[in-house]
Amino acid sequence: MIREIVSEGPSVAEAIDAALEEMGVQQDAIEYEVLEEPGKGLFGAAGRKARVKVRLRPEALVDTDSDDDEESDSAQGAVDFATVADAPELTDEQLDAVADAGVATINELLGVLGLEADVEEYEGDEREIILDIVGDDLGLLIGRHGRTLDAMQVVVSAITNRRLDYRHPVVVDVSGYRHRRRLKLEEMAQRAADRAARQRRSVELRPMTSFERRVIHMALRADRRVTTASEGQEPRRMVVIHPK
């Protein structure tokens, strides 16, 4: 298990997101320090990237000290979701407070963007709180391949966690995008695994966001025919499915 990492990205949120994917943990398991803010280049050239130092919180280390430092991304994905399943049991009042803090944060962001929408709350399969933003013309919040939504996830989780004395996984969605995307990705993963096993060769998937890569890893973690690994550098980082 990676305990500390320095990550880069076009924005602070994207740098944190890349670190989360590399470490295989949820936002609530880390703390971070901004080493360098992003900057604009001259005459339209690519500017300076954001740099952040991300480390596991002390309480998260308790559960991961026995893990192998050389885990593959597929194993890290399992740790990621196990963190959700192993989250401390909260009272109904505490869960309501987490949801209320998350909704308040989302509404503040929507206000800044000049958007009007409702936020629906429900519990996910892994006991996480899902906050689904619903309304008209919300494509701006999703972005290309969900990258804007991923960045919003990082911001909402960070602010929500700071407002409370306890933590619980919160997932931000827009009009059920993540749910629909997850189903499509799981189907894609299965088809690619079938092809890798049948043809006895590695199959590269297209570059994906950290959320998408985690879905692929989780979808195939129990498939004894293949292994998965994330390869390449952002924004061209992809999942490769290898036959055993």
> At residue 82, does pLDDT exceed 50?
no
> At residue 74, does pLDDT exceed 50?
no
CB 173 within 8 A of CB 141: no
What is the average pLDDT value for the chain, to the nearest integer?
79
How are strands ordered across the β-sheet holding 238-243?
203-204, 238-243, 226-231
CB 53 within 8 A of CB 23: no
> At residue 81, does pLDDT exceed 60?
no
Q: What percent of the chain has pLDDT over 90?
A: 32
pLDDT in tens, 21-57: 666 666 656 778 888 887 765 444 456 788 888 887 7
> At residue 147, does pLDDT exceed 70?
yes
Q: Bridge-partner residues for 19, per DSSP?
A: none
> At residue 76, does pLDDT exceed 80?
no
Predicted structure pTM score: 0.59
Considering only 101-105, 164-168, 226-230, which range has the smallest mean pLDDT?
A: 164-168
pLDDT at 234: 75
Mean pLDDT, residues 168-184 taken together: 90
pLDDT at 157: 86
Mean pLDDT, residues 128-149 taken together: 88
Residue ranges of E strands in the chain: 4-9, 30-36, 50-56, 118-123, 129-134, 170-174, 203-204, 226-231, 238-243
Give the side-chain half-sphere CA count within 13 A for 178: 23
pLDDT at 71: 38
Residues 51, 44: Cα–Cα separation, whole Å: 20
pLDDT in tens, 184-236: 999 999 999 999 999 999 999 998 877 788 889 989 989 999 999 888 887 78
> At residue 153, does pLDDT exceed 60?
yes
Give long-range contacts, CB 8 A cutoff, 24+ apart: 20-24.
20/54, 20/154, 20/210, 21/73, 21/210, 21/213, 21/214, 21/230, 21/237, 22/76, 23/54, 23/56, 23/76, 24/71, 24/73, 24/75, 24/76, 24/77, 24/78, 24/79, 24/80
More confident residue, 209 or 87: 209
In the chain the domains, ranked by start, together with CATH numbers, are 4-65 (3.30.70), 92-175 (3.30.300.20), 179-243 (3.30.1370.50)
Most confident of 8-12, 14-18, 54-58, 128-132: 128-132
Residues 30, 137: Cα–Cα separation, whole Å: 33
Place of tokens 């990205």: 9
pLDDT at 3: 75
